Chain A
Amino acid sequence: MNALALVSQLGGVVLAVALAPLLAGWVAQCRAWLQSRSAPSLLLPYRTLRKLFRKDAALATQASPLFRAAPYAVFGAMATAAAIIPSVTTDLPLAKVADAIALVGLFATARVFIALAAMDIGAVFGSMGARREMMIGFLAEPALLMVLFNAFLMFGSTALPTIVKGTLDADGLTLHPSLAFAGVAFVMVLLAENARIPIDNPGTHLEVTMIHESMVLEYSARHLALIEWASWLKLFNYACIGFTLFVPWGIAPHAAGPLGLLLAIVWLVAKLAVAGAVLAVIETVSAKLRIFRAPEFLSMAFLLAVLGLLVHLLLQS
């Protein structure tokens, strides 16, 4: 492990944490344009964070230490996840510790904490949101794992950097039909997991429909800031997982110097801009599903991912 690898590892996490609000702002801006509303500033998430961090936190009197610890745990899980995902370079010393399955576990940990915290206060909305979130989560997780298995099967490894390297080292463009299935499934999981429109509306506070928002209703100030930041970071992480699996071009290989890293960052920002715009389009053209349609949506995702595996086995045999 050399110094550059360490720097790129830490830099990757810092970059993810710093860029995540920008991605959220960009998606919100694209959505506003598409819906012909006047768009909020690109930097609005940063301002929100600054505002929230300045305020004094109000806690419910029955709040247990768990309630106070949850935002830190959730944010920590997301930041750790960012350390595993090769968003800028494949040369990640820490990524050897945890593979993509551990990554799914990290997301699950964050989900457990936020759901527990939501139930901790005993308010109605919190526990309702927590139950819904767990329902979505338990359906989305196997689908995500199946998507990842597609890539594992193809490259014979569960480590994300190896998968990226496998694609980058392949001579000539190879089209993998199974990845098309996995890609569609992944987008569906991304929408469900990040409280995006067909499943949940991030911009609403309507009681009967909200999932994510109802869980964090009791939070204020720095706790709320961390939770929000963590959810933006989650979107960022998911986008980066998508890039590593499906469009890894631009990610710096092992031997890339500092210049290569800078170029990779430019690539990353460009890919994020496109992904954010696509996400906004998907959110604008689709209507929110009833909550009881969510299992259908996610079983479709699971199914597509399994189909991807089958097609891979059929066509590559």
Chain B
Amino acid sequence: MMTPLNLATQLLHVLAAGLLMISFAMLAQRRTRRLIVLLAWQGVVLTASTLLVAVTAHLQHLYYSAALTLVEKVWLMPWILLRLMRRLGIEGDSDPLVNIPTLMLVGLGLVIFAFGLAQPISSLATTVTRQTLGIAMAVILLAFLMMIARHKAVTQVIGFLAMENGLFFAANSTTYGMPMVIELGIALDLLVGVFIFGIFFFQIREQFDSLDLHQLEALKED
């Protein structure tokens, strides 16, 4: 039978579950705009969970990490992406998906895989957050799936950012976050990455009149 958990751990579990739920919502979402909003929400949940871990484990650097998450993932990234969309004139666009139920079932399989994979690791860990490792891995794999299933460049970038969210959560749940220097580095990398992606978007559109990445297949010679 289960041992009673304290309130903070329970809250953390709820937040982790929320993260997983948002991941699935992103997988099923057609509208790019809503996708960005969901990404921002993922950032909110991530901030809350980081804060919670910081409070329960009394770790100074996690407070900074939470603040960084709040600024970067909740405000800055979605803002840049929304701005990009407006500039590209694709605000109302949707990324048509093939057969969402099948995609969901594949996602479910990935979740089972991730949970199974995380089980032996988390049973060795000692952090309060160890059981959420499975969820973090599931979020990463789902973001992968999302990148694979999408055609448009913008949605693939969103998938990439969602994957980083999952990695961040995984780091939090196994080792109470990464050292501050690395975290800052990653944050900066992501930011630069999004800028470069933005430039790419314009280039791709210039070349192919579309942001559909299947067009890139026409590049190969045979």
Contact = CB atoms under 8 A, between A and B. Distances in A.
Interface of A: 172-175, 177-178, 180-181, 184, 295-296, 299-300, 303-304, 306-307, 310-311, 313-317
Given A300-B104, A303-B24, A317-B119, A180 B18 contact: yes
A177 B115 contact: no
B111 interface: yes
Closest 5 CB pairs of A and B: A177-B17, A299-B101, A175-B10, A316-B2, A177-B13
B21 interface: yes
Contact of B17 (A172, A181, A295, A317): A181
Interface of B: 2, 4, 7, 10-11, 13-14, 16-18, 20-21, 24, 28, 100-101, 104-105, 107-108, 111-112, 115, 118-119, 131-132, 134-135
Nearest to A175: B10
Contact of B134 (A180, A295, A314): A314
Given A300-B24, A306-B108, A307-B24, 17 more contacts: A173-B7, A174-B4, A175-B7, A177-B13, A180-B14, A296-B28, A296-B100, A299-B100, A299-B101, A303-B104, A307-B20, A307-B108, A310-B112, A311-B20, A314-B115, A315-B16, A315-B132
Contacts of A307: 20-21, 24, 108, 111
Contact of A300 (B7, B28, B112, B134): B28
Nearest to A311: B17
Contacts of B107: 303
A317 B3 CA distance: 9
Contacts of A313: 115
Nearest to A154: B2
Contacts of B118: 314
A2 to B, nearest CB: 33
A147 to B, nearest CB: 15
25 contacts: A175-B14, A177-B13, A177-B14, A177-B16, A177-B17, A178-B17, A180-B17, A181-B17, A295-B101, A296-B28, A296-B101, A299-B101, A299-B104, A299-B105, A303-B108, A304-B24, A306-B108, A307-B111, A311-B17, A313-B115, A314-B119, A315-B132, A316-B2, A317-B119, A317-B131
